Amino acid sequence: MAFHHPIMTKDDLAAFLDREFPQLHIGGQTYFIEEVGPLSARMRMTYHERHLRPGGTISGPSMMALADVALYAAILAHIGPVALAVTTSLSFNFLRKPEARDLIGECRLLKLGKRLAVGEVSIYSEGRADVVCHATGTYSIPS
Amino acid sequence: MAFHHPIMTKDDLAAFLDREFPQLHIGGQTYFIEEVGPLSARMRMTYHERHLRPGGTISGPSMMALADVALYAAILAHIGPVALAVTTSLSFNFLRKPEARDLIGECRLLKLGKRLAVGEVSIYSEGRADVVCHATGTYSIPS
Amino acid sequence: MAFHHPIMTKDDLAAFLDREFPQLHIGGQTYFIEEVGPLSARMRMTYHERHLRPGGTISGPSMMALADVALYAAILAHIGPVALAVTTSLSFNFLRKPEARDLIGECRLLKLGKRLAVGEVSIYSEGRADVVCHATGTYSIPS
Amino acid sequence: MAFHHPIMTKDDLAAFLDREFPQLHIGGQTYFIEEVGPLSARMRMTYHERHLRPGGTISGPSMMALADVALYAAILAHIGPVALAVTTSLSFNFLRKPEARDLIGECRLLKLGKRLAVGEVSIYSEGRADVVCHATGTYSIPS
């Protein structure tokens, strides 16, 4: 299937996100696309004050946003920047307290259909092996 | 069960959240506890620029944060401010585009056990009948 | 919206399920439609040996099947028997041990769109107030 | 962590499941443990009439049971047969129609804590690369 290989580079994607979702970067850019590959994408969220909860731990909503954008980037990389994909569901398991460092979101697409795309995202503290948060999500793809 | 009635008022809860989660209000307070009741709580998120995506729609992460805090408030209202409850899972269905107005999160607790609390949150645009986002979530309650 | 009222009666639905899903009744009928209403349906699963786990408790897969069929019945009741709706996701929270009696699944549809239908199901032991299992699910509706 | 390596072999596990969950095999054994490894387990569900829906496709509840038992086997393999672990949540994405052949459930544990264990299960038609159903689940582990 053509869909199984990305048709946008990470630079294409970054430019698209900057243009279409400038609010992602309000207060300084913290989300960065690191890599796109066949049915996959990797996203970094840099450690930043506005993602924190008291005690220095990273907030749930910041991790949820990272998973959502990683999934979105992985899907767009494969279907192109034209499509207006919309999140229809997201599920999260919060497994461990993230450390005070960057988070990496590794997205793997499980299905890229004509109407629905489904993927999972494993979030790690940079340089660590344990998953701190695991997400699955579905996007609806307009015809 | 004692657990089935709130032991904190909405003012107690608001004071607790202000003290423990000041970062909720960074940029101006937008989350307000409207009511607590038996196994329930209602939370408002006021319409604010920082919750928006281009086009004026409210962002997914803002709605996810609203659900999380509504659930947290409902649980604390019943177990008291001492316990350090931690979100272990959250699941969301995004059903409709929210309108350009305040969002209301209605939380209903489904279980308040010794170790786990589970609830659901229906999010509405104020004054509208349709659910824009539905969430379920689990908190772990320390012994 | 026309979609907000059922267009099939519970007898229509029962006849449809009997014809299209005879395997539901293998070993004796245990799933019964009790009621359909605006965006809702109620289903009963009678207490039967084949739904049990050792100790007399009702198995998870039996409850999951009850939720799935309650959601399916609620959707079909509103869109008619022609459509071939397919489950795309199901999420369950298992809250309490069910008692040794019939289970009732109360389904409420949260969205009935052209492509996706989303609903929640609360499962109770008959005559009890506590939810034993809560489910949310999504069906894809073919065009 | 000691927890990261299995302490039961697949034969230990099979004997335990046969003894404690004889109802899994009612109508003939169709669930088989194929392998256990560090934080993982693989389970087979053989193709059998009682798992089918009309048209020869495998039913959702059969796949849900496969995911549940794969997760259970993976957890027990690491914590031993004494513990009475209970499913607290399960989430499923149904991605493709399974083929008329055995299904394989690959379980990976994401967390093995003192109170909660979380894992994911990818279900494949034997010999195929595409995931037909993806599950995540949580078990509560008694102290």
Three-state SS across D49-95? HHHECCCCCECHHHHHHHHHHHHHHHHHHHHCCCCCCEEEEEEEEEC
pLDDT digits (tens, 9 = 90+) for D88-97: 999 999 999 9
Q: With left for phi above 0 and alpha for psi between -120 and 50, is residue D133 left, alpha or beta? A: beta
Residues 6+ apart with CB under 8 A from B43: B31, B32, B33, B34, B66, B69, B70, B73, B104, B105, B107
What mean pLDDT do residues D20-39 have? 88
The ipTM assigned to this model is 0.93
Residue among A130, A38, A138 nearest A91 (CA):
A138
pLDDT tier at B83, thresholds 50, 70, 90: low
Examine the pLDDT at B19 and tell me if it is beyond 90. Answer: no
pLDDT tens-digit map of B104-142:
999 999 999 999 999 999 999 999 999 999 999 999 998
Q: CB contact, 8 Å: C93 with chain B?
A: yes
Q: Measured between CB atoms, does B85 come within 8 Å of chain D?
A: no
Distance from CA of A116 to the nearest CA of C (A): 9
Of the ranges B5-9, C39-43, D83-87, which one carries the lowest mean pLDDT score? D83-87
Give the C-alpha separation, B126 to B138, whole Å: 25
Mind telling me how many Å the CA of C94 is from chain D's nearest CA? 5
Give pLDDT, residue D1. Answer: 44
Does D115 score more than 80 pLDDT?
yes
Residue B89 at interface with chain A, using a CB cutoff of 8 Å = yes
d(CA D115, CA D112): 8
Query: Cβ contacts (< 8 Å) between B87 and chain D: which residues?
Result: none
Interface test with B, best of D86, D112, D116, D120 (most B CBs within 10 A): D116
pLDDT of D2 strictly over 60? no
pLDDT beyond 50 at A1: no
**pLDDT confidence of residue A81:** 86
In Å, how far from its chain's centre is CA A47? 16
CA distance C125 to C131: 8
CA distances in angstroms from C87 to A130, C60, C72, C94, D18, listed in the order given: 32, 18, 8, 20, 31
Residues C117 and C88: their CA atoms lie apart, in Å, by 10
Residues of A in contact with B68 (CB under 8 A): 60-61
Whether residue C91 lies within 8 A of chain A, CB to CB, comes out as: yes
Quote the pLDDT of residue B54.
Answer: 65
CB contact under 8 A, B136 and C131: no
Give how far A117 is from chain C: nearest CA, Å.
11
Residue of D nearest to B139 (CA): D116
pLDDT at residue A2 above 70? no
Inter-residue contact D24 to D59 (CB < 8 Å): no
pLDDT of B1: 44
Name the minimum distance, in Å, from the CA of C95 to any CA of chain D.
7
Q: What is the pLDDT of residue C1?
A: 44
Whole-number Å distance between alpha carbons of D65 and B108: 29
| pLDDT > 90 fraction of chain D, expressed in percent and rounded | 73
**Chain B residues close to A67, C-beta within 8 Å:** none
Which residues, in sequence order, are CB contacts of C4 under 8 Å at separation 6+? C38, C39, C78, C112
Distance between CA atoms of B8 and B12, rounded to whole angstroms?
A: 6
Plot region of D28 (φ>0 → left; ψ -120 to 50 → alpha; else → beta): left
Cβ atoms of residues B36 and B74 within 8 Å: yes
Output the six-digit token pair for C91: 């999420």
Contact status of D7 with chain B (Cβ, < 8 Å):
no
Nearest to B51 by CA among B31, B69, B71, B32: B31
- Give the pLDDT of residue A83: 63
* Unique residue bearing structure tokens 């495998």: D58
Kindly tell me if the per-residue pLDDT of B36 is higher than 70: yes
CA dist A46 and A30 (Å) reads: 5
Chain centroid offset of residue D40 CA: 10
Instruction: Write down which chains contact chain A via at least 3 CB pairs under 8 A.
Output: B, C, D
Under 8 Å CB-to-CB from C129, ≥6 apart: which residues? none
Q: Which of D93, D120, D130 sits opposite A134 (nearest CB)?
A: D120
Closest C-alpha among B62, B70, B67 to residue B13: B70
CA distances for C72 relative to A142, B126, C13, C77, angstroms = 24, 30, 10, 8
Residue D35 in 3-state DSSP? strand
| A120 to D118: CB separation less than 8 angstroms, yes or no | no
How many angstroms separate the Cα of C114 from the Cα of each of C3, C142, D128? 10, 8, 32
Q: Is C94 exposed, middle or buried (0-12, 13-18, 19+ CB in 10 A)?
A: buried
- Read out DSSP for A35-103? EEETTEEEEEE---GGGB-TTSPBPHHHHHHHHHHHHHHHHHHHH-SS---EEEEEEEEE-SPPPSS-E
Q: Residues with Cβ < 8 Å from B132, sequence gap 6 or more?
A: B63, B94, B95, B96, B97, B98, B103, B123, B124, B125
For range D23-35, the mean pLDDT: 88
Task: Specify the pTM.
Answer: 0.95
- Collect all residues of chain C within an 8 Å Cβ-Cβ radius of residue B118: 93, 95, 134
Residue among B89, B91, B116 minimizing CB distance to D140 = B116
Residue A118 identity? V
Neighboring chain A residues of D136 at a CB cutoff of 8 Å: 91, 93, 134, 136
Q: Mean pLDDT across the stretch B51-74?
A: 88
Average pLDDT of the segment spanning B10-34: 88
Q: Could you tell me if D88 lies within 8 Å of chain B, comparing CB atoms? A: yes
pLDDT at site A53? 74
Question: Which residues are CB-neighbours of C26 under 8 A, at least 6 positions away?
Answer: D50
Instruction: Tell me if chain D has a CB within 8 Å of the CB of A138.
Output: yes
pLDDT exceeds cutoff 90 at B56: no
Yes or no, beta carbons of B134 and C136 under 8 Å apart = yes
Using an 8 Å CB-CB cutoff, list chain D residues near B111: none
Residues in chain C, pLDDT under 70: 1-3, 54-55, 82-83
CA–CA min distance D91, chain B (Å): 9
**Can you tell me the distance from the alpha carbon of B108 to that of C93, in angstroms, rounded to the nearest whole number?**
14
- Whether B91 and C91 lie within 8 Å, measured CB to CB: yes
